[in-house]
Structure 1
């Protein structure tokens, strides 16, 4: 074997790890994070599938709800009273502590400007683009990336996106690095030896690679490393072994690892993170199928709080939003179909929490959107805009013309304490 030592650039641009997505990980490549004046943090979670806001935030039980949702209105009653007779879905029971602590707000009857067609693909693109329509300016980049380009006092313009592929939310002129908790790779003894040669004169990259191996090895069904100890020796192996020991094999499910990894970055220089949670498309047996994704949402929020620590959590705002709500009436499969108005979730120690925000439109047939969906009475972009303004000080003009073009911020909901 030729003992040529590669530098970082040649390592990343070569085919040494062909078929291995670890080369795209910020644990291997040099990474900078979005930095700005102040200490506030922003986390954006996209809830993919169209979360049923009427099941997450349950309106007061009524004859109308019983008639429109005969199965769902009888399933798993909740004792977690929020305000005005609204209750929280039992799958989100851990979040009730956040509500009581003033660290959770829920916006009711809210949506993007998307109407009529109810396509996941179009709905998610509009949500992440932050625009009013598809096909216009801004469709190819995301509102979070555009926000980073206006961060006051920030010399670094690199976003940090967590996921297998860059989300539209963070795509744009500001460079984005990605990380996935489910990296799958197999490294032979020869491959490990080649990698060791690459790392011999670069201790910093060796440490990053060891961390990447450890994280990937926690992934279900992934991170298989086949190494002959007699062939591979030295600091690289010692660091990798130390990382594996430190991480162990019980790092939790993928969504918990994502939240944990985000918290680790936010404790340091990062000020912005985004990731997504799936499973909210509940066309059938919703009483059962919605339970698990809501538990994952609760896990993620509580993992962020726990691992950020009290000081950083107290400076953090989390926005959890979905592409659209679901029909008011349940369908023949005891689920719900794609709708319009839904719920938006705000969490974090920075919030003036414990509030239901937005205007309730009612459930009478004449009050529904197209006589089938919860009528949207507010725009998710407006609440995201105010969270950005209060966290980072962006101007109203930048938010209304660049970050969310064509959106009106309106009056302040006074989100942060």
Structure 2
């Protein structure tokens, strides 16, 4: 009997949701010119590495084995934060106002640090409890239900699984490339897991999975596939689609984080570059929200990685963004300032930034956003994300 996705996670201790094998993408068609792209970074991206708060002296104390700050190749942004070298392709966007970050953010999910539950909470947009399976829908789908003028091309999911983000009553469809190999998802993930530390067999496994249309970890094949997803998204957004949602996996950096996160950030940065180039003038009406299920521990672990944490970082991009800034209060990294003395303390709900982006792009009123789209959300003050 082939194990279920959740049973497989329990068996190997590392989530398929955190692996680089699933890359769905979905679209929604709406009236108007504003465009929204939501990118789910599956596996818990380390926001303290992507956007390094090197001005806090405790960061170097907690991560003595990590390259940190401008002296280690990161790009200084504001005298306190530095951009990870893996994102240097996006460095000009900061000065242009097309790139920004929200620091110390999280969903209401606390304590258990499960990739599956964390991603379900992130995509459902709910207030901290994993939604019952029968009622599990996504916040983008609930948004669509409040907007007049949506039509049959509401959503397309591309990849091996659909996205909870757009699941619900609003019309949606799915598409996946023809597979040349008949591999069950759990079998494919097990293949990469077993050969992860063996370059010869890992490369062979990646080649095999690429033939089946799977997203693979590392190498030019994964970059080409990611670029293709962003390019396809741009093509739809140039037509009548107005919302795109996709995911990039492979952010679970328990080991050798410097290598792994650099690979992931380059993949993301170049994919976003493809999106911008292919959108052309429509980029000026676009906002991109890159969100992850939770952050990672403030301190490095014994294998030069980080473990599942809480507070993290949201990356925002787009020509409609009022970027070149970091939003949110900085909580500090001293031991007494950490959540449970191990995680970055969240200072704002990540859903609030998403809600304010929807308010600015589509005019959705605050009451609808804080009750229907994001139940139980305290939106707080307007961070003024849009130009």
Interval containing the TM-score (normalised by the shorter chain): 0.7 to 0.9
Give the TM-score normalised by the residue count of structure 2: 0.79
2:225 to 233, 246, 254: 254
Could you tell me which of 117, 125, 138 is aligned with 1:122? 117
- Provide the C-alpha distance between the structure 2 equivalents of 1:396 and 1:307, rounded to a whole number of angstroms: 32
- Choose the corresponding residue for 2:62, options 61, 68, 77: 68
Is 1:48 paired with 2:42? Answer: yes
The match for 1:353 is 323
CA deviation after TM superposition for structure 1 residue 185, in Å: 3.8
Correspondence 1:238-387 to 2 at 5 A: 253-309=224-280, 311-387=281-357
CA RMSD of aligned residues (A): 2.3
Distance in 2 separating the partners of 1:135 and 1:78: 40
Contact 1:123–1:323 (CA under 8 A) maintained in structure 2:
yes
CA deviation digits over 1:217-263, x for unaligned, max 9? Answer: xx94258xxxxxxxxxxxxxxxxxxxxxxxxxx99611111101101
**CA distance in structure 2 between the aligned counterparts of 1:54 and 1:88, rounded to whole angstroms:** 10
Offset of residue 153 of structure 1: 3.7
Q: Flag the 1:370–1:37 CA change in 2: closer, same or farther, 3 A.
A: same
Q: 1:62 to 1:44 in 2, by over 3 A?
A: closer
Larger radius of gyration: 1
Mean Cα deviation higher: 250-259 or 276-285: 250-259
Unaligned runs of 5+ in 2: 1-25, 182-208, 214-220
Q: Secondary structure at the match of 1:314?
A: helix
Deviates more, 1:63-72 or 1:390-399: 63-72
In the alignment, is the contact (CA less than 8 A) between 1:148 and 1:157 conserved in 2? no
Aligned mates of 1:308, 1:63 — CA distance in 2: 40
Cα distance, 1:385–1:367 mapped onto 2, change above 3 Å = same
Change in 2 beyond 3 A, CA 1:414/1:152? farther
Q: Aligned partners of 1:354 and 1:106: how far apart in 2?
A: 8
Note the alpha carbon deviations across 1:61-95, whole angstroms, 9 max, x for none: 55422321110146982341112421001011101
The whole-number CA distance in structure 1 between the counterparts of 2:313 and 2:262 is 16
Distance (whole Å) between structure 2 residues aligned to residue 297 and residue 40 of structure 1: 22
Matches within 5 A, 1:144-223: 144-156=140-152, 158-180=154-176, 182-185=177-180, 220-222=210-212
> When the two structures are superposed, what TM-score results if normalisation uses the length of structure 1?
0.74
Q: In structure 1, which of residues 91, 94, 98 is the aligned counterpart of residue 93 of structure 2?
A: 98
Q: Which residue number in structure 2 is paired with residue 398 of structure 1?
A: 368
For 2:49 and 2:222, locate their aligned partners in 1 and report how far apart those are by CA, in whole Å. Answer: 30
Q: 1:286 to 1:39 in 2, by over 3 A?
A: same
Structure 1: how far apart are the matches of 2:276 and 2:382?
26
Give the direction of change, closer, same or farther, for the CA distance of 1:295–1:79 in structure 2 (3 Å limit): closer
CA contact (8 A) 1:163 1:275 kept: no
Judging changes above 3 Å, is the alpha-carbon distance between structure 1 residues 49 and 136 closer, same or farther for their aligned structure 2 residues?
closer
SS of structure 2 residue aligned to 1:115 = coil
Cα distance in 2 between the residues matched to 1:252 and 1:360? 33
Of the three residues 62, 73, 77, the one matched with 1:78 is: 73
Q: How far apart in 2 are the matches of 1:272 and 1:81?
A: 32
